Amino acid sequence: MALLKIITLPDPKLKMKSAPVTEFNSDLKTLVDNMFETMNFAKGIGLAAVQVAIHKRLIIIDIGDLSAEEKYLEGDEESEKRLSERKRVSNLEVYVNPVILESEGEISYEEGCLSVPGVYADVKRKERLKIRYQNLDGKFFEEETHGLKSIVLQHEMDHMDGIVFPDRLGPMQRMLVLNKYSKQQKEKLKDEEPA
């Protein structure tokens, strides 16, 4: 297995739509293994292939035994500590070419993203989903989800369509989040410059 580079805003590759997966082979399984290692190393709970610059309709999630009542922010130190304490079980789930068939209800959750590190905002999502997807062998499945799993699936499925979570915010909130992110990135670059 290998760690992959997670691309971050403003990389234009994050805004590209992903193509359907058509080949179900050992390369796909290797990609999933590498994505899983990368997601765990980054202390994430979901990762889309586009986030590692591979434009295929593939996402993985591992929320262990976390629930929507336990706020988890990717990249937040306190959340990562809580995740390591609460995520007693690893439960990798792979979704190839996922599609939402039905959705209902509404849930608001403070989201973060490995591709937009250091900023968070409440995003409204559908509370319940019915989805169809394929597994690593190409077999079709349907699944109904709710709560945190629905939130994570929608967040990662957005990535496949070139949507990052700030795109789901109102204009003012989006501007505030992106300005904060831009400022943090400039400070990070400044800190990395040789003295």
- Annotated catalytic residues are 156
Residue 168 has which token pair? 């789901």
Q: What is the DSSP string of 117-165?
A: TT--EEEEE-SEEEEEEE-TT--EEEEEEEHHHHHHHHHHHHHHTT--G
Q: Could you tell me the sign of the dihedral formed by the alpha carbons of 184, 56, 129, 85, in that order?
A: negative
Instruction: Yes or no: say if 136 and 24 are a contact pair by the CB < 8 Å rule.
Output: yes
Give the integer Cα–Cα distance in Å for 188 and 123.
26
3 state DSSP class of 104: strand
DSSP 88: -
Nearest C-alpha neighbor of 134 from the set 94, 91, 103:
94
Give the integer Cα–Cα distance in Å for 186 and 188.
5
